Structure 1
Amino acid sequence: MAAWLLVAGLSTTAFAQSDPSMSTSITIGTGGVTGVYYPAGGAICRLVNRTRSEHGVRCAVRATGGTVVNLTALQTGELELGLAQSDWQHHAYLGTSESFVHEESGADLRSVFSLHSESFTVLARADAGITKLDDLKGKRVNVGSPGSGQYATMQVLMEAKGWELDDFREARTFGPVEQASALCDNRIDATVYTVGHPSGVVQEATTTCDVRIVEVDDEQVRSLVEERSYYRFSTIPAGMYKGNQGEVNSFGVVATLVTHSGVPDQVIYALVKAVFTNLDTFKGLHPAFAELTPEAMVREALTAPLHPGARQFYEEKGLIRPEEG
């Protein structure tokens, strides 16, 4: 599938200096085409592009390796916007991870809004003897592709557990597209995936072969959540996937839309207005968006300061007070 996708959409802008005759192109870095980030980026672009004649902003999405790739591309100016897990937005902005240790940290990163919750999800073959997190040791485990949020978060979890990659019989680095087939073809015993639910990858795996969602809830996980503000306890609803009738406890993060300070205010204003004035439409574009509220989207899980264009719209609508900007 092509790495680029143009999707049709909607927005207006109150910035008088925005000239619809002057076209501006923006690209949103997402994730693999089977994940939630890719359709999330497409949904945003659809709303922006529907009234491009009013503000001159053309929006496209790019399939990428995920969170860490997107944040790195934002810092180099390769992307105008990117979707990222809240934990790695935190690390990128503050420079508190080996992946983001640099002289100026991520000082130019700016928040736009947050989206859906994402659970750290462990899928295991039913015949692999994996019923709890510790059972992954000695098994063939996919830890995610380098540059993805799932890979980075798995490294954090492994550190908390005192694990090394050598503790697994095999450690594989499949991306989201390959995970389900790798499980069902018996090339791996389990895979980890940080994703919003319902997920197409999880749906594919659980309907193609006998796969269980494993609880991620022990002393080390609880300590992680309690010590780090960007993590939260989460649950994967009962009955969402074939063969998994009970609610599954885990921990998770929040998907966030991030930009950088070099993107013009009127461009971000147009994008934000497109989404927030058509929020019901946006929520209907993917089941993971169903519980979104404007209040949570402008306040939760955002470490980097709001981009001025986003802040302008939120102040106008009374979602934040000027002093909060």
Structure 2
Amino acid sequence: MKPCGTVTKSTAGLASLGGGLLVVLALSLPAQAAEDQIVIGTASSTGVYHVTGQAFCRLLEGPCHARPSEGSVANLRDIRRGEVPIALAQSDQQYYAVEGREGFADAGPDDTLRALFSVHSEPFTLVVRRESGIQGFDDLEQRAVNIGNPGSGQRATMLQLMSARGWTLDNFALVNELPADQQSLELCHGNIDAMVYTVGHPDLSIRQAVDLCNAAVVGVEGDFVASLVDEAPYYSLAEIPAGLYYDDQPEVQTFGVRATVVASEATDPDQVYTLVAAVFDNFERFTDFHPAYAILEPERMIKDGLSAPLHEGALRYYRERGWIEEASNGEDKDATEEAETNAATD
């Protein structure tokens, strides 16, 4: 009988071998999991983009991570640099990235950007402290306003609207650049009079401002808004339903964009196919994740708000479903017709 704690040569060898195997497994399995994992760039952790990314991951039921980010502009830059394979972005920023305009002028046109589909509409939303007396966009002059953090879609849209109005940052008494998950507290603390947000509704950040300090949602209208919408194919007039945030909230008139899902041309087609199939094969389940998805229609999602060509992984799925036909010359009929329509609109 061997004393307690004595290890035989064979036992020690097995322990050493087992330890070696554990080290190998510990090193190899995470690497494999990381390689197979689908990473989706979203935006603020309180916004609908992050909810959307999480919904995708739940539908995939495999290795998937919805990664918070600075927003649409940052996501498109990360896609171009190969730092994230799939991301969400506003339709206007997708257009600018493809064309190499606005925030992407220095980088030039992104010929490698690819579209998967669009999701919900995103009205440009103006939220104010009730005691501020702000009734519309023009009342923001010489007020303290949060325009959004650099890299966010809300900031980019705000700058476009300001340009259409003939304004610069000097038109405000104070300009804050807080991300979406911080702006409602800043509003309720009285440090700003208003905040803007391009987002699907209902939204947690806006709900927080309403619940904490009785904030109000006001319309964004005027000839400058109509001109902006007329000149840009990625903008459209939009409404925020009455009573969505508080009982006496009227229907709010504004404009907006669409949330879109994008990838790089280099993104694995099988990954893209898997994501697209997960959404459309489980479409009713997907639309249950958030009220903003309630009115989505697949036939519109594969066209509306898309400026970049469809990714080959998405095309494979749409062809299998018969939603896009491949012409005899190898081009996709519906995709080609849509591109021609967009070109005529520009």
Q: TM (normalized to structure 2)?
A: 0.84
Alpha carbons of structure 1 residues 36 and 222: separation in structure 2 relative to 1, 3 Å: same
Aligned-partner residue type, residue 67 of structure 1 = S
Deviations 1:161-202 (A, max 9, x none): 111111111000111111111111111000010000011111
2: CA distance, partners of 1:201 / 1:305:
33
Aligned-partner residue type, residue 132 of structure 1 = G
Deviations 1:244-281 (A, max 9, x none): 42100000000000001101211111111111000101
Q: Does 1:74 align with 2:79?
A: yes
Aligned residue runs from structure 1 range 42-191, under 5 A: 42-48=54-60, 50=61, 52=62, 58-103=63-108, 105-191=109-195
Residue in 2 that maps onto 1:197: 201
Q: CA deviation at 1:243?
A: 5.3
Aligned-partner residue type, residue 113 of structure 1 = F
Aligned-partner residue type, residue 136 of structure 2 = K
- Checking the alignment, whether the CA contact within 8 Å between 1:212 and 1:243 is kept in structure 2 is no
2: CA distance, partners of 1:134 / 1:23:
50
Determine which structure has the larger helix proportion and give its number.
2
Instruction: Give the counterpart of 2:43 among 14, 31, 49.
Output: 31
2: CA distance, partners of 1:137 / 1:207:
26
Q: CA deviation at 1:203?
A: 0.9
Alpha carbons of structure 1 residues 34 and 98: separation in structure 2 relative to 1, 3 Å: closer
Alpha carbons of structure 1 residues 286 and 88: separation in structure 2 relative to 1, 3 Å: same
1: CA distance, partners of 2:304 / 2:320:
19
Runs of 4+ with >6 A deviation: none
CA radius of gyration, larger in = 2
Aligned residue runs from structure 1 range 299-314, under 5 A: 299-314=303-318
Q: CA deviation at 1:138?
A: 0.8
1: CA distance, partners of 2:105 / 2:113:
12
- Checking the alignment, whether the CA contact within 8 Å between 2:127 and 2:217 is kept in structure 1 is yes
Deviations 1:271-301 (A, max 9, x none): 1111100010111111111111111111111
2: CA distance, partners of 1:41 / 1:22:
17
2: CA distance, partners of 1:84 / 1:41:
12
Determine which structure has the larger strand proportion and give its number.
1
Q: CA deviation at 1:100?
A: 4.0
1: CA distance, partners of 2:214 / 2:229:
30
Of all paired residues, the percent bearing the same amino acid is 43
Deviations 1:50-105 (A, max 9, x none): 2x4xxxxx2211100000000000000000011000000000011122434324x1
Q: TM (normalized to structure 1)?
A: 0.89
Residue in 2 that maps onto 1:249: 253
- Structure 1 regions of 5+ residues with no counterpart? 1-19, 53-57
2: CA distance, partners of 1:88 / 1:21:
32
Aligned residue runs from structure 1 range 211-222, under 5 A: 211-222=215-226
